[in-house]
Structure 1
Amino acid sequence: MKKIYLIFMAALTLVVSACQKSDFEGAYPDPSKISNTTVEKQFTGFLNSNKWYVLPDYGNYFVVLRTTINRYNQAVGWANTANQYIPGAASINDRWNNYYNFVAQYRELEKVYSKLSTTDQTDRRIYMIASTIYFYDHTQKVVDLHGDIPLTEAGKLSTNGGNYEKSYAKYDTAEGIYTKILDDLKAFSDELNSINVQSGILAGFKTQDFVNKGDLTLWKKYCNSLRLRILTRVSGASAFSARATSEIADILNNPAKYPTITSNTDNIQINVYDLNTDIHAKNFRTGLEDWDGNIAGKAMIDHMNKNTDPRLRAMFEAGANAKGVYNGLDPMLDGQAQTALIAGGTLSIYNRSTLSRNQFFPGVLINAAEASFLAAEYYLKANNNAASKMAYEKGIRQSIEFYYNLRKLSNDNTAPALTAVTEDEITKYLASADVNWDKATDKLNLIATQKWIHFSVVQPVDSWAEIRRLDLPKLTFQVDDANAQKQPPFRWSYPSSEQTYNSTNYSSVRTKDNLSTKLFWDVK
């Protein structure tokens, strides 16, 4: 499997964009020299191809997130600099390249599956359903960064027999991709209710699947919870609003037919079991901590302090010179003052034992708290105050439990041991000024703020999408007068390789390729 994986990773890099002919000729191997693969092995290779963008790793956290999304979300504090709201080429290229390696692996799985007999395809249908659910989860994230992306024709260099002329990929519209994803996930959710997987196939699936360990019920919950996320994301767009309302209602009103994640025991995540394997979070430490990437932001810390949030001690540590007081970095200060504060040791940092030095930290995909907050928003819009309050408060409880559970997984004791959270603490928190449901005049802001705190640095891509969609919570940024991009962008630009090598297809999106073009679901 390792041999197969490495060959295809080398052969299929950047297949979505057109590369130089010499690049293709050197990368595409002689098919006769490739060891035979199977659907089972290719499925695991496919999951493996993007694991470092699920499990917390140095490349994603330090290269991609540190100077971009973590700041746009104010999940962290940082020292202001000129040009700080322009996503760097390294961030864009690393994430784009990884995604299209991932696409290539998915296409190879499709190719291997297509060559099976009809009987074998039926037997192994679960592999294609599961892989496509997982594929769509990550595809949505890339769409939410860029908008239109190459997809339907992407990743087909191997399928096209190494013909690079046939492998230039056109751009699909973001709306079209969302429609396709929603259509397919709806079909999968129904199919999973009746699928019959032979015992021998299921045993193999449990071995090859390191996301849900072959648990079909968890794949159902993943599918429907992902539908809930995506439908909510597009619920404000006129072309999708009716569909979103109808299908979310169908999901939430039919839990037996369309189960979602309802407890932290059902969280969809890549768990770490053995640090001697390639599934681990050993590089989270350098990814988050290097170059002060783990400094707490003022808005989040102030909210948690004011309302005595039980998650505060689990998520953050007080600064070494702060005498136990939690402080966040003010984004409105000038860079020199911020740099001095960072060096002074009075600012809080993300709890190292819970997060960055927790080598058993899981690769989070979607969890109970997020699903509850999504349900709370739907019920709020449906004027069902009681159900919305129940889902909102359930989400908070699940988020608190989530962070304390993370600490229980940890093999690190850098930060002080946590005092267990009590029911009295939670009750008081739910009744506090900026959390209390019954006294709030803007309940949507309550939901958005809790989702933001919960996502923190754990689910930054989803957090940025939700902040842009709702314009909540309201965050204030220093204006960068040294650049035309004076505030955080609405999207990422495309990598320069698209203009250079995929120029014909890129021309269809050239006018959209700026930092101020909103995604179609960003209607506020």
Structure 2
Amino acid sequence: MNRIKLTIIGALTISLTILSGCSKEYLDINDNPNQVTGTTPDLVMPAALASTGAYLTTNFYFLNLWMGYWNWSGNYSISTSDKNYQFTNSFNNGVWNNAYTNLKNYDYMDTQGAALGQLQLQAMGKIMKALHFHILVDTYGNVPYTDALKGLNGILPKYDNGQAIYDDLFVQINTALDLFDQADKQADQGLTVVNPGTNDIMFQGEIALWRKFANTLKLRMLLRQSEKADRASFIQTQLATIKASGYGFLGAGESANVNPGYLNSQNKQNPIYGAFYQVNGSATQTNNQYKANGYAVNFYKTTNDTRLQGFYRPVPGTTTSYNGTLFGTTDVLVNSQVSDIGPGILKGVNQDTPILSSHESLFMQAEAAQRGWITGAAKDYYQSAITESFINVGRTAAEATTYYSQAGLNNVNFDASTNKIEAIITQKWASENSLAPFEAWTDYRRLGLPSGVPISLDPSTTIRQIPVRLLYPQTEYSNNAANVSTQGTISQFTSKVFWTK
């Protein structure tokens, strides 16, 4: 992997940055889509994928607080607006800005792949654009789409309807799958097909996994709409297309992870590990600031879940004691009394970064099977998902079997669970600690599950509701006022994304 990174840097001879906040790092390229870079889509690809990984793991820390995974440390004085959900248009603007910046990289892959006849690269660019745009819709509702990514030709993009964007994303992903098929036909005819190979730091150019990834993204977007009766026909049509493709979904051992060759060097570590530990191994401010949340700690304890030891570390000075506090509590404990984020999350400087985990894919298949959308036993998918989660956080398959086989334990043992969808979503939430809080927040907005996730305990929390969306960034009101104003007055509590329950 190190050879790949050095080759990219030598070929481009430019400074590379990764999209992690505002810091300048080593893997972002092509910031200006109107600038002639002289590079090819396969060289843009590793930078873009690494940026997506960093985006998903470091832009959503606040959701770990909201969803009961983390809490603030008692060693810090935290702004009231960070504890009572009453944030402003300046709150976490990186979610918007970093997405659109990296979308330009994927758009470059798409358009230049088309121009050069590199069908596989073009398809990969389309799939990754769909990923980022669906997350933008899930976060903000209506967003710039058809006018976005046009550079100087679209500096004031209009806003598109979120549902219409979703509909077109299915078209784009289906087009990508058709492009893979066209590339296969070219190969059969003896024509040269450009495959990114090891520059694809997610699947190493394995098209079968890209096809599964595309179908898994479509399943995710369909499940988002599960509670909308008016979308039933659309859902069934898309499910038929997925079934007819024969490609299936990501399964056990098939996580969509990225790794550009992370190093124990400044700004070159795995993004979440580097956020918590410095190169010399000492704790960062982020490490000192975020600690275990009592809600998750108690869940793992009461269900005899050994993932507790992966998600958190024992209280300092102990080997088996785990402790946390609830979000917004005024009785926040100092660092010496609470658990740190654990070794199953912070494994090392060179750990992979997940974009879509094998366990998330299997939990989605479990839900789809329980709804009658796909074939297969929901229980089998459910147990396989739990097993993958245990493995992915550094535990064992045997521990997983012991866990889900506990007799009579609701929302753990599938047969004993009184509401199968609730059991699936509860265990999905239990698996997403620290690395996929966005998916937990999405399921909570969609289904209200897990039902026990506590609202902030801060006394200033007058609206006792986890927000359903983020606010458009202040830059939109400053620079694109005419278009953002068409969206009306936005509230984080009432301005719902189209699929929200």
TM-score normalised to structure 2 length: 0.81
Could you tell me how far apart the structure 2 residues matched to 1:281 and 1:399 are? 20
* Match among 134, 139, 143 for residue 145 of structure 1: 139
Could you tell me how far apart the structure 1 residues matched to 2:39 and 2:223 are? 38
**SS, match of residue 323 in structure 2:** coil
* Match among 279, 282, 307 for residue 303 of structure 2: 307
Residue matched to 1:396: 386
Could you tell me how far apart the structure 2 residues matched to 1:39 and 1:453 are? 37
Could you tell me how far apart the structure 1 residues matched to 2:122 and 2:87 are? 34
Maintained 8 Å contact 1:272/1:279: no
Does 1:493 pair with 2:482? no
Deviating more after overlay: 323-332 vs 225-234: 323-332
Aligned amino acid, residue 67 of structure 2: N
Residue matched to 2:346: 356
Residue 473 of structure 1 deviates from its aligned partner by 0.1
Maintained 8 Å contact 1:267/1:367: yes
* Match among 216, 228, 246 for residue 225 of structure 1: 216
Could you tell me how far apart the structure 2 residues matched to 1:481 and 1:52 are? 34
Cα separation, partners in 2 of 1:240 and 1:317, compared to 1, 3 Å:
same
Aligned residues: 465
Q: CA RMSD in A?
A: 3.5
Could you tell me how far apart the structure 2 residues matched to 1:89 and 1:387 are? 45
Residue 43 of structure 1 deviates from its aligned partner by 3.9
Could you tell me how far apart the structure 2 residues matched to 1:30 and 1:242 are? 41
* Match among 228, 231, 235 for residue 237 of structure 1: 228
Could you tell me how far apart the structure 2 residues matched to 1:386 and 1:111 are? 39
Residue 312 of structure 1 deviates from its aligned partner by 1.9
Residue matched to 2:151: 157
Could you tell me how far apart the structure 1 residues matched to 2:465 and 2:226 are? 26
Cα separation, partners in 2 of 1:303 and 1:30, compared to 1, 3 Å:
closer
* Match among 268, 273, 287 for residue 284 of structure 1: 273
Could you tell me how far apart the structure 2 residues matched to 1:43 and 1:200 are? 23
Could you tell me how far apart the structure 2 residues matched to 1:233 and 1:170 are? 24
* Match among 321, 332, 341 for residue 325 of structure 1: 321
Maintained 8 Å contact 1:104/1:155: yes
Residue matched to 2:97: 97
Could you tell me how far apart the structure 2 residues matched to 1:369 and 1:516 are? 31
Could you tell me how far apart the structure 2 residues matched to 1:486 and 1:427 are? 33
Could you tell me how far apart the structure 2 residues matched to 1:515 and 1:325 are? 37
Map 1:55-94; keep pairs closer than 5 Å. 56=57, 60=58, 64-66=59-61, 68-78=62-72, 82-83=80-81, 84=83, 85-87=85-87, 91-94=91-94
* Match among 313, 337, 342 for residue 334 of structure 2: 342
Maintained 8 Å contact 1:69/1:464: yes
Map 1:45-60; keep pairs closer than 5 Å. 45-54=47-56, 56=57, 60=58
Could you tell me how far apart the structure 2 residues matched to 1:397 and 1:379 are? 18
Residue matched to 1:18: none
Could you tell me how far apart the structure 2 residues matched to 1:5 and 1:485 are? 51
Aligned amino acid, residue 321 of structure 2: V
Cα separation, partners in 2 of 1:245 and 1:390, compared to 1, 3 Å:
farther
Post-superposition CA distance 1:88-143 (Å, at most 9, x none): 656522222211211333344445345x3xxx42xx11111111111211221121
* Match among 379, 384, 394 for residue 369 of structure 2: 379
Could you tell me how far apart the structure 2 residues matched to 1:171 and 1:365 are? 26
Post-superposition CA distance 1:182-229 (Å, at most 9, x none): 222234335535532648855651143222111111111110111111
Could you tell me how far apart the structure 2 residues matched to 1:35 and 1:437 are? 54
Aligned amino acid, residue 290 of structure 1: Q
Could you tell me how far apart the structure 2 residues matched to 1:113 and 1:190 are? 14
Could you tell me how far apart the structure 1 residues matched to 2:459 and 2:13 are? 47
Does 1:297 pair with 2:293? yes
Identity of aligned residues (%): 22
For structure 2, which runs of at least 5 residues remain unmatched after alignment? 1-7, 23-30, 278-283
Post-superposition CA distance 1:137-192 (Å, at most 9, x none): 1221121111111121112125x3xxxxx421111111111111122223433553
Cα separation, partners in 2 of 1:393 and 1:42, compared to 1, 3 Å:
closer
Maintained 8 Å contact 2:327/2:457: no
Residue 505 of structure 1 deviates from its aligned partner by 0.7
Aligned amino acid, residue 449 of structure 1: T
Maintained 8 Å contact 2:409/2:417: no
Maintained 8 Å contact 2:33/2:151: no
For structure 1, which runs of at least 5 residues remain unmatched after alignment? 15-26, 161-165, 406-418
Aligned amino acid, residue 41 of structure 1: L
**SS, match of residue 295 in structure 1:** strand
Could you tell me how far apart the structure 1 residues matched to 2:477 and 2:363 are? 39
Maintained 8 Å contact 1:104/1:154: no
Cα separation, partners in 2 of 1:456 and 1:423, compared to 1, 3 Å:
closer
Cα separation, partners in 2 of 1:304 and 1:316, compared to 1, 3 Å:
same
* Match among 130, 134, 137 for residue 136 of structure 1: 130
Residue matched to 1:170: 158
Maintained 8 Å contact 2:201/2:258: yes
